[in-house]
Structure 1
Amino acid sequence: MTLTNNASDERVELHSQAFGDPSHPPVLLVMGMMASMLWWPQGFCEALARSGRYVIRYDQRDTGLSTYCPPGEPNYGMADLADDVFLIAGEYRLEAVHLVGMSMGGMVVQRAALAHPERVLSLTLVGTSPLGLDGLPPMDAAYIEHCESGESVDWTDPAAALDYVSRDAAAIAGTRHPHDADAARAFIRADIARARNYASATNHFELVDGDDTQFRHVRDLKMPVLTIHGTSDPIFPIGHAEALTAAVDGAKLLRIEGGGHELHPADWAAMIEAILAHTATAGSAR
């Protein structure tokens, strides 16, 4: 489904897809930096839907089939991405939803929940970092070096983008399960080909949060919070999840032993079981 927001002078289109029975509790998935909705694997979405949830995923701005800005010229910030969460929910006529955000998507849903807590039944934060907390452990040094090499990538060249993102997928993989490099490369190639303008996804690196400073601290979250985090995540080490869990009253943490910054199929069952239990206790609303 593609929706358009004409409330402002700009035209914003967001492409989304739903799985399951609309009468079931709604779970809205928000993916991370430069990642289209396809990074929520279809098998993961279908399994969650078969277990009794109405699952929605969507392409954030500058990814997939959604609206895009010229590379280096984003006309939006993190607050706008948080508002987009409720634009999607409204299109599906959902008054309140369970939000699941991964990586940068986890930061987006934190902002969404702080801005409109009455519309968020629960939060599940996967491989992300808490808003407003200092003293968090740094990114892995080897991954920092990998990121620095991305500055020289010609993102308008599909082959160059494919090579870098394939290396990125290997760099963020966990230590417990084998990384399928061939499958990852095939998926990334298809994701690049599907995008309206893949180079525009680099705009996510330039986002700033100066317009939502009143909604910045994770300690102000009042809805049920579940954190799912790999113990071998090189982007946000496990200390981010531990700090987040300690800061939010009643928050729970599912450690994925040896897990990286990814949704590895071998970990889906544990993740889905935790999400089902978490969203079952918070109820549903339309």
Structure 2
Amino acid sequence: MTRVRANDVELGVETFGREADPLVLLAGGPTMLSWPDSVCERLAAGGRWVVRYDLRDCGASTTLDPLAPAYRLRDLAADAAALVDTLGATTAHLGGAGVGGMVAQVAALDYPKAFSALTLVSTRPVAPGPVDDDLPDHDAATMAALFSRPMPDWTDRAAVAAFAADGAELLGNDPEQARTTATRIWDRTPSSEPAVHQANQLGMVFARLDCTPRWRERLGELALPALVVHGRADPFFPVGNGEALAATLPTARLLVLDDMGTALPDAAADTVAGAMLAL
């Protein structure tokens, strides 16, 4: 773990593999731990230099006010492109999970020379908020159950971990993997402020982020190799979002994992890393 400066902000990064190998840059969704160690390790074993990083206002990256971000989605896309240059690479295979997948789409569109391949996990081709008519929205029953739960004490590490494990079952994820990830996110959060812990755990920055203008209509411009990974059991961004995204990208391969919800499971690391290495 370290911090590097790119696009005038400090970004928390973690690396796997040899710096001499081709770069795979993994944008957090919003923290870097949306990319499991198991996937990063498989990619590194396959001859890639893997760098995963926290988005702004998350993890070890510059945190000012996650409840009122003074930047836009386009700035997060610029961070990704600047990070490629800061790391000394010519181009990178860019991956994004969840809201990080939205960052990755815009980055690939706005900075085509910086990226050689694209992997998008558990995401959709429009910003948070109302969806297009052809895209399935969040499963209403799951969202009602998820958000009717009492919030934990965000300064209580064990309570936050238990809250994440409980929510994982609703989201089709492994509760113990979610518990471990939530604990690691809590440990890596540099602030003791409850609002910052909550934002790190729930990705709340994106609910307040300016994501205009739309980019879905531009996705046909992307000619780089692309992989779209989605869980068939995902109730947050149902699988139709991944199917629509893959259909819009000219060269995309769609990989649907039957036992996956919103999060990449460790059990799928070989499959996902193998598909990424094949791009």
Question: TM-score, normalised on structure 1?
Answer: 0.83
Work out the CA distance in 2 between the residues paired with 1:168 and 1:217: 34
User: Percent of aligned pairs with the same residue?
Assistant: 36
Question: In the alignment, which of 41, 46, 50 is matched to residue 51 of structure 1?
Answer: 46
Verify: 1:88 aligned to 2:74, yes or no: no
Verify: 1:273 aligned to 2:274, yes or no: yes
Partner of 1:283: none
Shift of 1:59: 1.3
Shift of 1:248: 1.8
Are residues 157 and 120 of structure 1, via their aligned partners in 2, closer, same or farther at CA, if it must alter by over 3 Å?
same
Work out the CA distance in 1 between the residues paired with 2:55 and 2:74: 13
Question: In the alignment, which of 20, 23, 27 is matched to residue 26 of structure 1?
Answer: 23
Gaps of 5+ in 1: 279-286
8 Å contact from structure 2 (residues 5, 86) kept in 1: no
Matches within 5 A, 1:46-125: 46-125=41-120
8 Å contact from structure 2 (residues 60, 188) kept in 1: yes
Shift of 1:216: 6.0
Gaps of 5+ in 2: 192-196
For 2:26, the aligned partner's letter is L
Partner of 1:218: 219
Q: What secondary structure sits across from 1:217 in the alignment?
A: helix
Partner deviation per Cα, 1:139-174 (whole Å, 9 max, x = no partner): 112332145337956645555544433333222225
Work out the CA distance in 1 between the residues paired with 2:51 and 2:6: 18
Work out the CA distance in 2 between the residues paired with 1:27 and 1:4: 18
Partner of 2:10: 13
8 Å contact from structure 2 (residues 24, 50) kept in 1: yes
8 Å contact from structure 2 (residues 160, 182) kept in 1: no
Work out the CA distance in 1 between the residues paired with 2:59 and 2:140: 30
Partner of 1:126: 121
Question: TM-score, normalised on structure 2?
Answer: 0.85
8 Å contact from structure 2 (residues 126, 214) kept in 1: no
For 2:69, the aligned partner's letter is P
Work out the CA distance in 2 between the residues paired with 1:69 and 1:163: 27
For 1:113, the aligned partner's letter is A
For 2:96, the aligned partner's letter is G
For 1:92, the aligned partner's letter is L
Partner deviation per Cα, 1:25-78 (whole Å, 9 max, x = no partner): 211111214xx2123222321121011111110111121111112342211121
Q: Between 238-247 and 129-138, report the one with greater CA deviation.
A: 129-138
Q: What secondary structure sits across from 1:227 in the alignment?
A: strand
Work out the CA distance in 2 between the residues paired with 1:255 and 1:19: 26
Partner of 1:203: 205
Are residues 150 and 24 of structure 1, via their aligned partners in 2, closer, same or farther at CA, if it must alter by over 3 Å?
farther
For 1:203, the aligned partner's letter is V
Work out the CA distance in 2 between the residues paired with 1:25 and 1:37: 19
Work out the CA distance in 2 between the residues paired with 1:74 and 1:156: 22
Verify: 1:136 aligned to 2:130, yes or no: no
Q: Between 62-71 and 267-276, report the one with greater CA deviation.
A: 62-71
Partner of 2:184: 190
Q: What secondary structure sits across from 1:75 in the alignment?
A: coil
Alpha-carbon RMSD across the aligned residues, in angstroms, is 2.4
Verify: 1:245 aligned to 2:263, yes or no: no
Are residues 60 and 234 of structure 1, via their aligned partners in 2, closer, same or farther at CA, if it must alter by over 3 Å?
same
Q: Which runs of 4+ in 1 moved over 4 A?
A: 150-160, 212-216
8 Å contact from structure 2 (residues 126, 216) kept in 1: no
* Aligned length, in residue pairs: 266
